[in-house]
A and B are shown apart, each in its own frame.
Chain A
Amino acid sequence: MSIKTAKIIFWVGSMISMLILIILTFDSMGQMAVRTKEKNLSEEVVAGKKIFRKYNCNDCHTILGIGGYYAPDLTRVYRRKGAKYIESVIMDPENTLKNSFRKMPKKYAGGYEVTPEEVKKMITFFKWVDGIDTNNWPPQDHKEKTFGGNSFYQNNSAGGTNDLTLLKRKGCIDCHKIRGTGGTYGPALDGVGSRFNLQEIRKIIKEGKGNMPGRDISEENLQTIGNFLIKQKGGQK
């Protein structure tokens, strides 16, 4: 091969790729306005985004999977945790994350603390981000419809969609431990049936309690989870 051929390969190769990238960028920009629901992008959302940057949240947390890997992804934090939890963890991280082995600052670089008005704006921002069409990413927040449109959550357990599987799919074990698996934010669910009656359990799931957000849940799923939890008897805390 001569240097001339090499030169041609360089120019043709790089220019073709550059051209494709530019064309696709133009097309993507148009589609993204729809996919991100830009019509809902209010001034308050933008204000929330600025506050999100002000406290450098993005260097510990990822959002859309980008940023620091030290703390949970925030793409779906609004549907995952709800406004009440977000407010509680930002305003009072010490108590909210009492049982967590990784902490979140109360005071940020320079000694700044987040104000209640700022939290409200950030929640509006998270609510908007929650509406972005991310092709069903992250998988754990799109359990009904994951990569390629189908769900692997439905068939990765012998039990189908009942009992424990449903607790996993609905994200209960993000915060609660049961039979040794799950989070430590909320109390363990072993023995929950001895502490509450069915009525109370159903109420807590639907309306929340303390820092726990209430859930939109179908009657069928509520029944399955309620009936499962009421059977968890014993002397746990």
Chain B
Amino acid sequence: MTVFKSQRVSYYYFVLALLLFGLQVLTGLWLAANYAFTIPQGIVDIFHFGTARSFHTNLLVLWLLLGFMGGAYFMIPEETNSELYSPKIAYIQLILLALTGVAALIGFSFGWTQGTPLLEIPPLLDILVVIGALMFLFNIGMTLIKAKERTVISWTLLAGLLFLSLLYLFGHPFYKNLSNEFYWWWWVIHLWVEGAWELITASIMAWIIIKVTGVDRAVVEKWLYIEIGLFLFTGLVGTGHHYYWIGTPEYWYWWGGIFSALEPLPILLMVWDTYTHIKDRKNEIINPVVWTYIIGSAIVHFVGAGIWGFAQTLPQVNYFTHGSQVTVSHGHLAFFGAFVLINLTIFYYAIPKLKGIERFKSTLGLWGFWITNSFMFIMVLAFSAAGILQSYLERKMGLGYMTAQAEMQFWFQVVLVCGIVFFIGTVIIIYDLLSLKENKAEA
């Protein structure tokens, strides 16, 4: 059972997020097919790769943000020991964001786009996104103001969400100079994933760890401070690893290289402190799935964002890998480990509570976890193989782009097969989460 009635709003955020997750993976399969095979001109003229890509990435951002928002609506009442300021605002905001999302996808298909990679949503719809974000921040902010208890976790979560909303604005003025445009573009993309989103992830992680392990809040919050401090210390100047080749000065080699080489540290710290908290747990393991997702999230976060990121962050390496499939490999594993798994963790923690389930059957949840994780990892290895080939053939040997792509095509076919299996895992997870029942047999 949930402690507060208003936590209920989060359920609808989770359901919508899950459905969009399925759709996002499905569009990913289409993208992989575009790489693996020749798509005839007739289809390209109706629905080209670029449109499909804008679906894939915007759906990703939309569902992750809906998951974070739902997560916040679930956590904040318990953290502040009070009901949400207004569940009504939360529902209106969800409807607004859902409609904006639908309008954006339909718009993309008909050429209504801002044309900026990852930030394709046109200005008019952006206003709706901003209104949705303001409603959310107002709601959470007012809950905090009216509450008696304000914890480090609540502050971190609110700071992350506020930071996220502010940064979004940098991507939207029209810049005449392409280099300037991309300079600020990275303030959205990089400072989201290595700043704001990490604050949100870290606070959700800390909160769930307190809830499931029962370890001392003071200890968890202390480490939370150090982790987010390190995330921001390395991540802010670490933006510089995107400023090597876009018309920016050469000194970014040093600032970007050194600071971003330190970026894996806070994630490593997170793995370590998750491990110790779980080892020192005071509670028994009731639902193994939740524990599996917590540990999985910490580890894949480190491998995808930390190791795969570090592998190409130094300018000597990045000179050859920038804008290649190596970037794609890192992008997939980092997003999956850092943000998809933390979302699924909070879903698996919160949805049973929202449905009044204490103990649920873990078979499907674990199958879903292992299928998605294994095949995501193989897929990332295939992307990496393609990326290394591309870096070598195109950038080092000087072969033409398509000549190099022809050599890489086998690996794209591997990606497609992995993607199909990954999709099956996704469907299992979605089905499982939406059909959880009390497990009387093991109780």
Bound together, the chains give a CA A153 to CA B394 distance in angstroms of 12
Complex contact A109–B110 (CB within 8 A): yes
Asked whether, in the complex, the Cβ of B51 is within 8 Å of the Cβ of A17, the reply is: no
Asked if B286 is at the interface of the complex by the 8 Å CB criterion, the answer is: no
Of the stretches B8-16, B240-248, B364-372, the one at the interface is B240-248
Cβ B39 vs Cβ A103 within 8 A: yes
As a 0/1 sequence over residues 237 to 273 of chain B, the CB contacts with chain A under 8 angstroms (1 = contact) are 1011001111111111001000100000000000000
Residue interface bits B100-114, CB-to-A below 8 A is 1, else 0: 000000001111111
A237 at interface by CB-CB < 8 Å: no
**A17-B237, A32-B248, A138-B395 in contact; A41/B177 too (CB < 8 A)?**
yes
Interface residues of A in 169-198 (CB under 8 A from B): 169, 171, 173-175, 181-185
- Say yes or no: A70 contacts B34, CB within 8 Å: yes
The residue in chain B whose Cβ has the minimal distance to the Cβ of A99 is: B402
Contact with B along A27-57 (1 / 0, CB 8 A): 1110111011010010001100100111111
Which of A62, A65, A100, A168 has a CB less than 8 Å from the CB of B398? A168
1/0 per residue B177-193: CB within 8 Å of A? 11110110100000000
Number of A-B contacts (CB under 8 A): 267
Q: Give a binary string over A42-80; 1 marks a CB under 8 Å from any B CB, 0 the rest.
A: 000110010011111111101111111111110000000
B178/A102 in contact, CB under 8 A: no
* CB proximity to B under 8 Å, residues A110-140: 110-112, 129, 132-135, 137-140
A27-B243 Cα distance, complex, nearest whole Å: 13
Residues A129 and B178 in contact, CB atoms below 8 Å apart: yes
Known A-B contacts A3-B222, A182-B403; the reply to A9 vs B229 at CB < 8 A is yes
Query: Measured between C-beta atoms, what is the minimum distance from B44 to chain A in Å?
Result: 5
* Of A18-26, A201-209, A217-225, the one touching chain B: A18-26
The reply to whether A21 and B237 form a contact with Cβ atoms under 8 Å apart is yes
Cβ contact within 8 Å between B112 and A110? yes
Q: For the side of the interface on A, what is the size category?
A: 35 or more
CB-defined contacts of A16 to chain B, threshold 8 Å: 233
> Are B117 and A32 touching (Cβ within 8 A)?
no
Cβ of A105 < 8 Å from any Cβ of B?
Answer: yes
Which residues of the other chain, B, contact A57 by a CB distance below 8 angstroms? Answer: 50, 115
Contact A107 to B116, CB < 8 A, known contacts A3-B218, A17-B232, A181-B403: no
Chain A residue with the shortest CB-CB distance to B114? A53
A-to-B contact residues, CB < 8 Å: 1-3, 6-7, 9-14, 16-18, 20-21, 24-25, 27-29, 31-33, 35-36, 38, 41, 45-46, 49, 52-60, 62-73, 93-94, 100-112, 129, 132-135, 137-140, 143, 146-147, 152-153, 156, 168-169, 171, 173-175, 181-185
